[in-house]
Amino acid sequence: MDGVMLRLLLPALLFLSTMLVVARCDDHGDRSDLVIVGGGEVFTLDPQRMSYLRDMRMGGALYEGLVRLDLDNGGFKPAAAWKWDVSGDGLTWVFHLRPESRWSDGSPVTAHDFAWSWLRLLAPDTAADYSNLFFMIKGSRAFWDWRQEQLEEASGGGEGIDGPALWTEAEEHFRETVGIDVLDDYMLRLQLEHPVPWLLDLLAFAPASPVHRPTVEGWPMEEVRTDVGWHQLDPPPWSSRRFVDFNAKTGRLQQDHRWARPGRLVGNGPYILDAWRYKRDMRLKRSPTWRDPDGVRNNTITTLAIEDPNTAVLAYESGSVDWINGVNVDYRADLVEMARSGKRDDVHIVPAFATDFFSFNCRPELPGGDLNPFADALVRRAFARSVDRSVIVDNVTRLHEPAISTLIPPGSIPGYVSPTGLQHDPARAREDLSEAGWLDRDGDGKLESVDGTPFPVVSLLYTTNTPRYKRIALALREQWERVLGVEVELVGRDTKFYKNDLREGDFMIARGAWYGDFGDPTTFLELCRSTDGNNDRGFVDERVDQALDAAAMERDPQARMSMLSELERYLFEEQVPMIPICQIVDVHMYDPTRIEGITHHPRQVQSLWNIRRTDHQEAMVQATAP
Amino acid sequence: MKRGGLPRMIVTRLMQLPLILLAIYTITFMLVWIIPGNPLEKPEGRRPPAEIVDAMQARYNLDDPVVFYGDYLSGVTGLDWVLGDRDGPIIDFGPSLRHENWTVNEILAAQLPVSILLGLSAVALACLIGIGAGVLGAVRPGSLLDLGSLLLALVGISLPAFVIGTVLLVVFAVHLGWFPVGGWGEPGHVVLPALALSLPFAAYIARLTRSGMLEELQSDHVRTARAKGMPEYTVVLKHALKNALLPVLSYLGPATAAAMTGSFVVEKVFAVPGVGTHFVDAVLGKDITLILAVVLVYSAMLVLLNLCVDVLYRWIDPRIEPSGTPA
């Protein structure tokens, strides 16, 4: 009988032991100098199309804009431009490019590269998420509208659209009307509609990075020369450009993004793309043509796409991951607790340049034609004053985020003084509500208006993809029901449905969040402009629009900041289109004794080339030694 | 047995395949189209102006279901290629709507082999564990071994994959360090996910084998074999096991299909870049081209796998009448 069992088990044992042996013999020698998990799959490596943080982080490593944020000291550092001059009125900027900068194929980086890339950024064909941030460049908004009109007219004509001819005309129009001028190969002039104090911030932003035209358009290899810039070559006919063509229906220029692949992508940053496997990993390696090799402190960086947050933490614990950028496990609050009590030094809490808030629907009517009580600012104030944020951040999310009552996280913008906003004040809240006409008139414990209409059941819309917002919504319901005596109904929806409801204004109160893009108050406050594309609240106030316009025209930086501060006070102490809850925090995991160079910039910008593993240094020196 | 029954069955089934796929395509297309939302819209971030949204919709034919249906069909069937559009692959599933950097063909080419390898390893492992445990249990019913195999079955069937997966990770990857925590590309990456995926199948196979063996061990031919003085292992392995495995074999067809398609949770826990996770993401993100491609490919695989199982039946036991053969 024992023999039988042995025979039965033998194959199984053999199979398992072979796998074990194979696994044990695995050569982990090609582990990158730095392994990161963070933020999910990269969406695009086309800088003009970028809008996710994780994409922009990669963009910063593969490309280099004119300037770069100085993460250690604040302010800006020269990057592709080694210096710049500003005219006295702040409207004309001249950038001097480094003649020694090279694309990763060896060709020179010139002013033409920037001009062409910004044409991509400002043309509606690219469908860049951030075009409108750059509309302060002279003539750029007009160019956008002109191109839209040109295409619409052409597609209304009935006969076939000549896409290339329209595009050539558009390029010509761009050169003539938009304030981006190539003075010579290494001098670029930028003219603005109005002074823009945050211009350098925008130029350091990934979407303003240059791309290499022959690569992006897919010029035939034999026509590309690396000893001169592409502007000295004749562009090949459209039919032989591999990665662009024109839509037969709309006439728009269409991009095929397969240029952004290992072996093809040409960048001007410290790294080149070594490998990119869909939803697996992305590997960067040091660029052979980078102008400052000594400034790059690691040879290779791998970003793993581990979607399960728990697995990411386990991978970190096992040592195969060096840095988790955005820990998202259910027990995150416990990790934060351990960090706060000093039990773990590898959990880092980083406040982001971002705010969690709840939006009021400010439209006079709800989609069904029902009266909307939140069209009245008094009611909105009452609801805002009923919220006890400290309970939410300390007991509900347990991440101890900075509780804030303004949209812009206080202290996040140098030179900007945040107003106070509406604090927790239940008594005032009840007063506001009665002043708005909502009182318990018949003693049934419920609120009625003058004509006896009961206060409608408040529907509170939140997203269900993380438990975070359900928990906050539950807390808000409890607080509003207790303080104001209203009835609140929770509506949890999947992101897709939620976005749909937001767009159609089909909600009374809905969760929202905003991440600032540049270090200026307007990156948040423009959200309250009546025509803003992200004004989910349907909040329309001429005074706000006028104040934003006036601030844009103000030449004195200090006066401008106080104008914006006053605007934020008006918005969040009087109008209250949304209730700010807290500044969003990110949780990172890395061992500070093993890794240096990770910065805690509120906009999560990182200089990847500056990060190194200290325990890895010896091995790296050996690897780079000849 | 009717002569020519088997080849005829195979031909009939293969001829039915395109019709089945067309029906599946049409139904899936209608279902996917009515999911609300726009696949080109990013889940977070800024909202593009309306005219840009319209233009992008037009680019991917999202403004016209009829055009989309026809366009996709002619790409998938290779009609485009036949008609002279030789730039792309013969069977072209188009670009992914959610991941503009990748075509669906590239995504499938990268992920399908992963899911298939993982599924097959899991089924192989399930057979080893399941048949081993089943036989051991049946040889000594009521013993500790039998109890052990019962326990294995209970655990395998009742514990969800994310629990088993996490436990395996914590024990074998984090504490013992024998295997990497997640990812794909080295042989060591297969072991833990295959084990986690195999347990429910192993449990079922163990129960099937055990009951089959118990029955066989009581049967006349086994008693005869024993009476002839054959060694016990020959009796168990040759005479009893062969017959006891028939139900296991019939279970293997659907089990293989299920292991290759149903590894969603395991793939997620072990960060395995297979089709499962991303199929779920595709549905959530309304990535129409990717959803249709995965549904079509998996449907074709299922039909072919079922055909294989039927052929295998006939081969093992010619008395079995294959389904799909005209009587």
Of A200-209, B129-138, B256-265, give the range with the top mean pLDDT.
A200-209
**Hey, how many other C-beta atoms are within 10 angstroms of the C-beta on A377?**
17
Residue of chain B with shortest Cα separation from A310: B269
User: What integer is the mean pLDDT of B287-304?
Assistant: 88
What pLDDT, on a 0 to 100 scale, did the predictor assign at position B251? 84
For residues A126 and A253, give the distance between their C-alpha atoms in angstroms, rounded to a whole number.
Answer: 8
What pLDDT, on a 0 to 100 scale, did the predictor assign at position A569? 96
Q: Closest to A314 (Cβ–Cβ): which among B139, B174, B186?
A: B174
**Hey, how many other C-beta atoms are within 10 angstroms of the C-beta on A559?**
11
| Nearest chain A Cα distance for residue B81, angstroms | 18
Check CB contact of A102 with chain B, cutoff 8 Å.
no
What is the rounded average pLDDT for all residues in chain B?
82
What pLDDT, on a 0 to 100 scale, did the predictor assign at position A626? 40
* Location of structure tokens 């001097």: A96
Predicted-complex ipTM score: 0.81
What's the DSSP call for residue B103? B
**Hey, how many other C-beta atoms are within 10 angstroms of the C-beta on A21?**
10
Of the CA atoms within 13 Å of residue A341, those in its CB half-sphere come to 6
Check CB contact of A29 with chain B, cutoff 8 Å.
no
Give the contacts of B39 (CB within 8 A, at least 6 positions apart).
B62, B97, B98, B285, B286, B287, B288
What pLDDT, on a 0 to 100 scale, did the predictor assign at position A24? 45
Longest dimension (CA), chain B: 87
Residue of chain B with shortest Cα separation from A278: B107
Residue B316 to residues A11, A137, B222, Cα–Cα distance (Å): 23, 77, 20
Burial level of B175, CB count in 10 A (0-12/13-18/19+)? exposed
Give the contacts of A374 (CB within 8 A, at least 6 positions apart).
A360, A361, A362, A380, A383, A508, A509
Contact in structure between A580 and A357 (CB atoms under 8 Å): yes
H or E element: which one contains A291? none
In B203-222, the residues whose Cβ lies within 8 Å of chain A are: none
- Tokens found for residue A258: 């397969």
Residue of chain B with shortest Cα separation from A53: B45
* Location of structure tokens 């906003």: A421
Contact in structure between A382 and A432 (CB atoms under 8 Å): yes
Q: Closest to A311 (Cβ–Cβ): which among B124, B169, B286?
A: B169
Partners of residue A534 in chain B, C-beta under 8 Å: 46-47
Counting one residue from chain A and one from chain B, the pairs whose CB atoms sit within 8 A come to 177
Check CB contact of A44 with chain B, cutoff 8 Å.
yes
Q: Which residues of chain A have pLDDT under 50?
A: 1-4, 8, 22-29, 622-626
Beta bridge partners of A365: A371
Cβ distance A311 to B184 less than 8 Å, yes or no, reads no
Residue of chain B with shortest Cα separation from A495: B43
Full-model pTM? 0.85
Residue B140 scores a pLDDT above 90: no
Q: Closest to B188 (Cβ–Cβ): which among A12, A22, A534?
A: A22
Residue of chain B with shortest Cα separation from A257: B101
Q: Closest to B268 (Cβ–Cβ): which among A125, A308, A497?
A: A308
Check CB contact of A130 with chain B, cutoff 8 Å.
yes
Contact in structure between A419 and A369 (CB atoms under 8 Å): no
For residues A583 and A580, give the distance between their C-alpha atoms in angstroms, rounded to a whole number.
Answer: 8
Query: What is the identity of the amino acid at A331?
Result: Y
What pLDDT, on a 0 to 100 scale, did the predictor assign at position B325? 42
Identify the band that residue B324 occupies on the pLDDT scale cut at 50, 70 and 90: very low
H or E element: which one contains A84? strand A81-86
Check CB contact of A149 with chain B, cutoff 8 Å.
no
Cβ distance A22 to B268 less than 8 Å, yes or no, reads no
Contact in structure between A388 and A424 (CB atoms under 8 Å): yes
What pLDDT, on a 0 to 100 scale, did the predictor assign at position A15? 57
What pLDDT, on a 0 to 100 scale, did the predictor assign at position A2? 46
In B152-181, the residues whose Cβ lies within 8 Å of chain A are: 166, 169-170, 173-174, 177-181
Cβ distance A129 to B48 less than 8 Å, yes or no, reads yes
For residues A482 and A475, give the distance between their C-alpha atoms in angstroms, rounded to a whole number.
Answer: 11
Q: Give the residue ranges of DSSP H helices in A386-425.
A: 389-391
Cβ distance B187 to A22 less than 8 Å, yes or no, reads yes
Partners of residue B185 in chain A, C-beta under 8 Å: 280
| Nearest chain B Cα distance for residue A500, angstroms | 7
Interior/surface letters B33-72, b for 16+ CB within 10 angstroms, e for the rest: eeeebbbbbbeebbbbeeebbebbebbbbbeeeeebbeeb
- Tokens found for residue A16: 């398992």
Interval A524-552: pLDDT, tens: 999 999 988 888 899 999 999 999 999 98
Contact in structure between A303 and A55 (CB atoms under 8 Å): no
| Nearest chain A Cα distance for residue B174, angstroms | 5
In A401-440, the residues whose Cβ lies within 8 Å of chain B are: none
Q: What percent of chain A has pLDDT over 90?
A: 65
Give the contacts of A288 (CB within 8 A, at least 6 positions apart).
A104, A272
| Nearest chain A Cα distance for residue B126, angstroms | 10
* Location of structure tokens 């061992």: A591
What's the DSSP call for residue A235? P
Beta bridge partners of A349: A587
Check CB contact of A155 with chain B, cutoff 8 Å.
no
Residue B44 scores a pLDDT above 70: no
For residues A90 and A104, give the distance between their C-alpha atoms in angstroms, rounded to a whole number.
Answer: 34
B9-18, B99-108, B214-223: least confidently modelled range: B214-223
Residue of chain B with shortest Cα separation from A46: B101
**Hey, how many other C-beta atoms are within 10 angstroms of the C-beta on A141?**
17
Burial level of A51, CB count in 10 A (0-12/13-18/19+)? buried
Q: Closest to A315 (Cβ–Cβ): which among B42, B182, B188?
A: B182
Beta bridge partners of A95: A84, A188
For residues A116 and A225, give the distance between their C-alpha atoms in angstroms, rounded to a whole number.
Answer: 18
| Nearest chain B Cα distance for residue A518, angstroms | 14
In A449-508, the residues whose Cβ lies within 8 Å of chain B are: 494-497, 499-500, 503
Contact in structure between A600 and A615 (CB atoms under 8 Å): no
Residue of chain A with shortest Cα separation from B95: A256
What pLDDT, on a 0 to 100 scale, did the predictor assign at position B214? 83
User: What integer is the mean pLDDT of B208-220?
Assistant: 83
